[in-house]
Structure 1
Amino acid sequence: MPSTETKLSRAELAPAPLEPLAVRIPTAMQLIGVRRSTVYALIKAGELRTVKLGRATLITMISLRQLVER
């Protein structure tokens, strides 16, 4: 007798790829397509939120997404 459960493909069962919560400045530059000086100007203006982990300055993905969605 056939099962009433639906069969899912491997792609449907695979977990979604993880997205970083924050990225370093060079990665942020690539993601939004601007120069390093522009990223620092956006940080200074409060347009991008940063997090310090040790000596590394990270920019939150939420703030990058909010910047480009305006």
Structure 2
Amino acid sequence: MTELWQVISGTAKGRTSADQITLFDSVGFAIEDFSALRYVRDQLVGTAFHHDLDLLADPDDPRDLFGMLQRAGG
């Protein structure tokens, strides 16, 4: 396991092959999660890996997010 800050600071390597999986386990601090996501997004903009996504959910019932996913899947 490698900490994200180590990869960003250059003290540790991230993935070394396409077979490896990147898992971001946030600790629930919104500002840290948001900052990490903004950093990753900023690094990807202008590359073949960047795709704009509409991630704004507008559920009928905010307490039933799983149901919203099921309805969207058909």
TM above 0.5, one fold? no
Higher relative contact order (CA 8 A, sep 6+): 1
> TM-score band (shorter)?
under 0.3
TM-score (norm 2): 0.21
Look at both structures and tell me which one has the larger radius of gyration over its CA atoms.
1
**Higher strand fraction (1 or 2):** 1
